[in-house]
Amino acid sequence: METLEALIRRNERTSRAKYEAAAAELTGQLDRRYRLTSTVLQEVTYAQAHHAWWDMVLMQTDKYDVEVEEALGLVRAWTTRYVESTLARAVPIPRVAESAATAADLFEHALSVTGLEAGHRFLSATEGGRAAS
């Protein structure tokens, strides 16, 4: 059976690979002067946010010598605070025609929702002190 640390390291590697692949796809589309789609932007944003949580756990263990269980608990607490504070700001924007919402407002809203999804996935994967994929 894999140790908690091994599971965390595997999840960090997997999430990093997904982030790098999504970033490469985005860069490739920019290089080819393709029109960017919301799907590509969402994928790279989600992958980056999801990887950041796993990376923070390893930063705590590797850089600051925090025990694995404590590091996971710290990052889960930070993720929970992030999700709770972001949720309040990510409420649905009123219909654009009836508000002064700009494209930047809508994009920021989408980034917040994507960050929430990544945070929820990390919390779900680490529920109960485990590190499922």
92 compared with 119, residue with greater pLDDT? 119
Residue 58 lies in domain = 4-129
**Model confidence at 131, in pLDDT bands (50, 70, 90)?**
confident
95 vs 10: which has the higher pLDDT = 10
Return the number of other C-beta atoms located less than 10 Å from residue 74's C-beta.
Answer: 15
Q: Give the residue among 34, 30, 119 at the shortest CA–CA distance from 82.
A: 119
pLDDT in tens, 20-64: 999 999 999 999 999 999 999 999 999 999 999 999 999 999 999
Question: Does residue 109 have a pLDDT over 90?
Answer: no
**97 pLDDT tier (thresholds 50, 70, 90):** low
Total structural domains within the chain: 1
Average pLDDT for 112-125:
94
Helix or strand (DSSP H, E) at 106:
helix 103-125
The proportion of the chain whose per-residue pLDDT surpasses 90, expressed as a percent, equals 72
Of 65, 72, 100, 81, the closest CA to residue 9 belongs to 72
Per 3-state DSSP, what percentage of the chain is helix, strand, and coil (rounded to 5)?
80, 0, 20
d(CA 80, CA 91): 17
CA dihedral 81, 42, 44, 79 (to 10 degrees): 10
Q: How confident is the model at residue 108 (pLDDT cuts 50, 70, 90)?
A: confident
Using DSSP, state whether 85 is helix, strand or coil.
helix
Q: What is the pLDDT of residue 90?
A: 66
pTM of the model: 0.89
